[in-house]
């Protein structure tokens, strides 16, 4: 609810999918679980336990005396754990129930659930519990698209264990066990218990995925509280190394606390490479490495931890394209789009790794220079330079498909994504009338990314003593900036075309993409002034953020995925772009309005910004309207508040040059903002900003602090 305080988070606000519909989402690394608010996974729904992009539990329903329990509350103090507080339905003739049932669920690759039955009555009670269990081992894509069919597991009973195996691929399975001996039948575990007055009964149940008949080795210890579990230790380690960001404004502080928790839960650690961290794109459907999403999330999270950016880039560099493969759209130097490990990944994507994205490759180069500025060590950055150079070569040799100097996309086969920018739905790019263009398509924001990538690599070339290359790259960037203005600017409209189509026709829809152009710096001051005016219009600004498409455009639909909805990461990038042009009239005011709208929306969604929500104006609905299948938590939405804070602080460290720039324009309601244990290379500082007053404690004498 708008204006709610951090106490709501401490009490355990539920994690919900899309902010509505009663779905509770738990996530830990690449494993996630969707259930209803009783904790049940019902058949014939998208719910389930998902492991390695396959649903390993499609039914997990608790029955109390043959009935569904009655829900009281759901508490979720961390993204990987929840407590479902229930009661036994009142018996005939009784006004109230005296039996409390608590399901405590912890996700750690396996699903660990403790069921507690507490008798609050004055006489002994008998309770029949039955847990119905099934699995279909259906690929994640099939579940997402409703193509689950009627797959059933091979079900075996082995003494007191329930074994479920994939009939089509015996390598996948799940084993269900209980600490209190159950009666095990094919498809269920049951207990008949007697609970004296004032007493409790408890059992711990483990659903452990298996690969090649071998259980995964990540199950919690019996009786282990979530605070002492492996996911909790991982979060604690993340918090120990990450910067602590606090704010005087209670709502901002609440949202930042949720941000830190969610980003920690969305991290995946590559145990084959020393626990290297990278971030999954988001729950429930994108719990895997994504090029664009993971890179932008790591960029936004730089104030917390530069190692997340470094690990993400190292992971992507190892998977960088090396050959031409039309099926997966791999090309030399191209950064991949997404990685999947489900049973149908090859059929959907052409392989486990799909490369059909136009923007991840320049974003990789941009992030490398930023990570160096924030303190990534010299040798790690140097080791990634060949990948950055290969990315720039891809931009020239493959990204520019017709030699006009711009980066375009066109899918290689009918299996690939039709649109390959961040608005990658089939109708996400169109003109003012709603017409969908013919490819190849050159997006405006991608030209900005390419421009920023050239400057980023030039900066690194300077640091590593290659002034000739640096000069050449800056010349290319200047040329691209000029060409971009000539080809994309719509003087009669006062904004940039969202794209050029196959015939170099300017697609004249007014979109949020132009905010990304501000962020990259490709826009001249003259054009930026007009862009700011357009973004501030009621057709674009909803009161809860920017619409992806203006409300007076032909394809506008506030309930669409990309044609009028609000995406928090998109608005946050526009805010960063506006504050880059803070010297221009209206830029700070609009940035403040957009940021306050996002924080109000976060309050309405329990402190957590979802992937997107509908683009209705705030004047019509006092709270943002959820988008039905929005991911939550979703990485770049979770990280968006960090980009807001960084942008309003004007925080730009430069570790190689021993310079810390802080040019604050904090919204008045924020009060003060503090960053404690901000690690910049080998330097650890505390930074406090209140109004225009900046205090940097522990800043070494050889550093320079720039505040104006």
- pLDDT (mean) for 581-603: 97
Q: Does 483 score more than 50 pLDDT?
A: yes
Give the least confident one: 193-202, 268-277, 333-342, 589-598.
Answer: 268-277
pLDDT at 708: 87
Task: Name the residue among 594, 607, 533 with its Cα closest to residue 568.
Answer: 594
3-state secondary structure of 447: helix
Q: Establish whether the linkage from the previous residue to 212 is cis, with ω within 30° of 0.
A: no
Give the pLDDT band of residue 266 (cuts 50, 70, 90).
confident
- pLDDT (mean) for 221-247: 76
**How far is 274 from 77, CA to CA, in rounded Å?**
29
More confident residue, 173 or 15: 173
Give the least confident one: 215-224, 295-304, 346-355, 546-555.
Answer: 215-224
- pLDDT (mean) for 263-276: 76
Give the tens place of pLDDT for each residue, 33-77. Answer: 999 999 999 998 999 999 888 899 999 999 999 999 999 999 988
Predicted structure pTM score: 0.88
CA distances from 486 to 479, 490, 506, 527, 692 (A): 11, 9, 11, 11, 39
pLDDT at 271: 64
Regarding beta strands 704-706 and 659-662, do their DSSP bridges make them parallel or antiparallel, or are they unpaired?
A: parallel
Neighbours of 491 (CB within 10 A): 8
Q: Does 318 score more than 50 pLDDT?
A: yes
pLDDT at 9: 28
pLDDT at 681: 94
pLDDT at 17: 34
- pLDDT (mean) for 361-386: 98
- pLDDT (mean) for 257-277: 80
DSSP 613: B
Sheet-wide strand order for 31-35: 24-28, 31-35, 48-51, 54-57
Neighbours of 193 (CB within 10 A): 15
Give the least confident one: 101-110, 246-255, 272-281.
Answer: 272-281
pLDDT at 346: 60
Mean pLDDT (the chain, rounded): 90
Give the pLDDT band of residue 143 (cuts 50, 70, 90).
confident
Q: Does 2 score more than 90 pLDDT?
A: no
Give the pLDDT band of residue 343 (cuts 50, 70, 90).
low
pLDDT at 150: 64
**How far is 42 from 505, CA to CA, in rounded Å?**
50
Q: Does 104 score more than 50 pLDDT?
A: yes
Q: Does 15 score more than 50 pLDDT?
A: no
pLDDT at 13: 35
pLDDT at 219: 55
User: Cβ contacts of residue 579 below 8 Å, gap of 6+?
Assistant: 587, 588, 591, 647, 648, 650, 665
Q: Does 151 score more than 70 pLDDT?
A: no
Give the pLDDT band of residue 224 (cuts 50, 70, 90).
low
Give the least confident one: 35-39, 136-140, 475-479, 622-626.
Answer: 136-140
Q: Does 11 score more than 50 pLDDT?
A: no
CA distances from 38 to 74, 132, 688 (A): 8, 14, 43
**How far is 573 from 571, CA to CA, in rounded Å?**
5
**How far is 268 from 288, CA to CA, in rounded Å?**
8
**How far is 113 from 638, CA to CA, in rounded Å?**
27
Q: Does 177 score more than 70 pLDDT?
A: yes
**How far is 654 from 664, CA to CA, in rounded Å?**
17
pLDDT at 307: 93
Neighbours of 8 (CB within 10 A): 15
The rounded Cα 620 to chain-centroid distance in angstroms is 28
Task: Report the CATH number of the 242-690 domain.
Answer: 1.50.10.10
Give the tens place of pLDDT for each residue, 445-465. Answer: 999 999 999 999 999 999 999
Give the least confident one: 272-286, 526-540, 605-619, 693-707.
Answer: 272-286
Task: Report the CATH number of the 24-233 domain.
Answer: 2.70.98.40
Q: Does 559 score more than 90 pLDDT?
A: yes
More confident residue, 616 or 168: 616
- pLDDT (mean) for 281-307: 89
Task: Name the residue among 487, 402, 398 with its Cα closest to residue 438.
Answer: 402
Phi, psi of 420 (to 5 degrees): -125, 20
Q: Does 5 score more than 50 pLDDT?
A: no
Q: Does 630 score more than 90 pLDDT?
A: no
Answer whether 24-233 and 242-690 agree in fold. no
pLDDT at 230: 74
Give the tens place of pLDDT for each residue, 22-44. Answer: 889 898 877 889 999 999 999 98
Percent of the chain exceeding pLDDT 90 equals: 76
* Secondary structure (H, E, C), 20-61: CCCCEEEEECCEEEEECCCCCECCCCCCEEEECCEEEECEEE
**How far is 24 from 7, CA to CA, in rounded Å?**
20
**How far is 675 from 370, CA to CA, in rounded Å?**
19
Q: Does 217 score more than 70 pLDDT?
A: no
Helices marked H in 104-184: 140-144
- pLDDT (mean) for 308-336: 96
The residue extents of the domains of the chain are 24-233, 242-690
The residue with tokens 């040799």 is 397
């Amino acid at each position: 609810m708008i204006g709610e305080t951090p106490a709501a988070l401490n009490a355990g606000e539920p994690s919900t999918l899309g902010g509505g519909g009663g779905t509770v989402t738990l996530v830990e690394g690449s494993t996630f679980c969707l259930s209803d608010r009783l904790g049940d996974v019902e058949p014939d729904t998208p719910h389930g336990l998902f492991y390695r992009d396959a649903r390993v539990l499609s039914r997990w329903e608790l029955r109390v005396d043959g009935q569904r329990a009655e829900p009281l509350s759901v508490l979720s103090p961390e993204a990987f754990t929840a407590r479902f507080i229930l009661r036994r339905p009142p018996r005939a003739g009784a006004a109230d129930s005296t039996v409390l049932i608590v399901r405590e669920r912890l996700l750690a690759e396996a699903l660990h659930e403790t069921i507690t039955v507490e008798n609050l009555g004055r006489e002994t009670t008998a309770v029949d519990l039955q847990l119905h269990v099934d699995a279909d081992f259906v690929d994640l894509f099939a579940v997402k698209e409703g193509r689950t069919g009627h797959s059933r597991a091979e079900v075996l009973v082995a003494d007191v264990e329930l074994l479920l195996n994939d009939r089509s691929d015996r390598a996948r399975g799940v084993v269900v066990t209980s600490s209190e001996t159950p009666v095990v039948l094919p498809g269920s575990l049951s207990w008949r218990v007697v609970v004296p007055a004032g007493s409790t009964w408890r059992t711990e149940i483990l659903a452990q995925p298996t690969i090649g008949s071998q259980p995964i080795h990540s199950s919690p210890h019996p009786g282990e509280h979530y605070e002492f579990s492996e996911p909790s230790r991982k979060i604690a380690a993340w918090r120990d190394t990450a910067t602590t960001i606090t704010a005087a404004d209670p709502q901002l502080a609440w949202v930042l606390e949720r941000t830190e928790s969610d980003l920690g839960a969305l991290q995946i650690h590559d145990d084959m490479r020393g626990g290297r961290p990278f971030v999954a794109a988001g729950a429930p459907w994108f719990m895997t490495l994504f090029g664009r999403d993971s890179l932008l999330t790591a960029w936004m999270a730089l104030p917390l931890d530069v190692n997340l950016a470094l690990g993400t880039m190292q992971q992507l560099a190892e998977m960088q394209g090396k050959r031409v493969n039309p099926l997966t759209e791999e090309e030399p130097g191209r950064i991949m789009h997404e990685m999947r490990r489900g049973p149908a990944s090859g059929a959907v994507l052409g392989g486990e790794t799909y490369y059909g994205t136009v923007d991840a490759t320049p974003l990789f180069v941009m992030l490398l220079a930023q990570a160096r500025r924030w303190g990534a060590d010299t040798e790690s950055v140097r080791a990634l330079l060949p990948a950055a150079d290969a990315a720039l070569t891809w931009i020239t040799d493959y990204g520019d498909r017709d030699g006009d100097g711009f980066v375009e996309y066109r899918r290689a086969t009918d299996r690939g994504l039709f649109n390959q920018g961040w608005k990658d739905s089939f109708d996400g790019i169109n003109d003012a009338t709603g017409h969908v263009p013919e490819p190849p398509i050159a997006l405006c924001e991608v030209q900005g990314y390419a421009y920023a990538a050239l400057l980023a690599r030039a900066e690194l070339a300077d640091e590593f003593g290659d002034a000739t290359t640096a000069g050449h790259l800056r010349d290319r960037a200047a040329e691209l900036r000029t060409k971009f203005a000539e080809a994309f600017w719509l003087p009669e409209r006062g904004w940039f075309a969202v794209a050029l189509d196959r015939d170099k026709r300017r697609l004249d829809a007014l979109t949020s993409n132009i905010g990304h152009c501000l962020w990259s710096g490709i826009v001249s001051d003259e054009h930026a002034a007009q862009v700011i005016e357009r973004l501030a219009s009621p057709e674009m600004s909803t009161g809860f953020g920017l619409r992806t498409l203006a409300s007076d455009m032909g394809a506008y639909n506030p309930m669409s995925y990309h044609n009028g909805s609000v995406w928090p990461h998109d608005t946050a990038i526009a805010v960063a772009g506006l504050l880059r042009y803070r010297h221009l009239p209206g830029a700070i005011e609009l940035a403040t309005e957009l940021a306050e709208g996002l924080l109000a929306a976060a309050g309405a969604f329990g402190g957590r910004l979802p992937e997107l929500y509908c683009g209705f104006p705030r004047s019509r609905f006092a709270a943002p309207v959820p988008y039905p299948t929005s991911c939550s938590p979703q990485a770049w939405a979770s990280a968006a508040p960090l980009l807001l804070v960084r942008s309003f602080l004007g925080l730009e460290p430069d570790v190689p040059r021993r310079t810390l720039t802080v040019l604050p324009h904090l919204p008045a309601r924020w009060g003060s903002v503090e960053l404690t244990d901000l690690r910049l290379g080998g330097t650890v500082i505390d930074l406090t900003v209140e109004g225009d007053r900046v205090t940097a404690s522990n800043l070494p004498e050889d550093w320079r602090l720039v505040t104006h």
